[in-house]
Structure 1
Amino acid sequence: MAIEPVKDTDPTIGRLVTDASRDISSLISKEIALAKSELKVSVKAGGIGAGLFAAAGFLGVLAIIMLSVAIAYFIHWAGLGLHWSFLIVFGLYVALAGLLVLIGIKKVKQVRAPEKAIAQGKQIPSALKGQHTA
């Protein structure tokens, strides 16, 4: 194999390193610009989604209010006084809220600290020192 002599038109190592550095810098800045544009689209979509959920929640509350009035009027239509009808609907909501509170208290009492993770976390310093604990 014959080694060809270096020509004046061949790039030098310094030139190649400079070109590679410039290209990498350009690539990184374009990747950052792409990530920013993707995030803008995602944040905008997330904001619109959150706004739509809020609107749906508000309409759901209005629907529950209208349903409550309708139930009270159905009870009144069955022959009970209107004031008693509304009090019955109110009582149903209070009973439902109480039931949800009791279930919530029961679930909160089930919350425990992550004992296994804490125990493993306490072993980390000795493991970093090279000590083995069983």
Structure 2
Amino acid sequence: MTDDGHPDVEGTSVGQLIGDVTRDLSTLMRQELDLAKAELKADANKATEEVKAQAGKAGKGAGMLAGAGYGGNMVALFLSLALMGALWSAMPIGWAALIVAVVWGIVAAVLFVMGRKTLKTIDFTRLKQINPKPEQTVETLQQVPGALKPN
């Protein structure tokens, strides 16, 4: 280095200087590409984690709604059996079936409310916050033309 901060190139051939610059630019581009890949991979991992978290909530809510649907089927079955039993004869079996149907109705209602509440919490807004653009790479690449200009 000389006193003014420039590299000492006296005695170095132009071909060697061009070779050094080409090698340095090649190294810089490889490093920038590696940085861009690392940034994109990190952002993709964040997006994957967020989708998995929201999908888990959706699955749980859907399972509860399926349980509510099954409970609804049971209500229909036991109400039908209860009505049939009560109309067929006034035997206690019809009233027992009615009690079972009411219990299934309560189970179905609870599962429905819980499932609906869970599905309402699904939120993909955090996915919008993930920037697919490799910011560091863009920033450092913008500095390359200035670094190539002589002062």
What is the TM-score with the length of structure 2 in the denominator?
A: 0.45
1:79 Cα offset (Å): 3.1
1:71 matched residue in structure 2: 73
2:32 matched residue in structure 1: 30
Q: Percent identity?
A: 5
4+ runs of 1 displaced by more than 3 Å? 82-86
C-alpha deviations, 1:12-40, integer Å up to 9, x for none? 11111111111111111111111111111
Read off the aligned partner of 2:71 and give its amino acid letter: V
1:45 to 44, 47, 57: 47
Backbone CA RMSD of aligned residues:
2.6
Matches within 5 A, 1:3-22: 12-22=14-24
Matches within 5 A, 1:36-115: 36-80=38-82, 81=97, 83=100
Distance 1:31 1:60 in 2: 42
The DSSP-based 3-state class of the residue aligned with 2:81 is coil
1:66 Cα offset (Å): 1.0
Distance 2:81 2:49 in 1: 49
Read off the aligned partner of 1:52 and give its amino acid letter: Q
Bigger mean CA deviation after superposition, 25-34 or 37-46:
37-46
Using CA pairs below 8 Å that are at least 6 residues apart, which structure has the higher relative contact order? 2
The count of aligned residue pairs is: 78
What is the TM-score with the length of structure 1 in the denominator?
A: 0.50
The DSSP-based 3-state class of the residue aligned with 1:71 is helix
Q: Structure 1 stretches of 5 or more lacking a match?
A: 1-7, 87-134
1:78 Cα offset (Å): 1.3
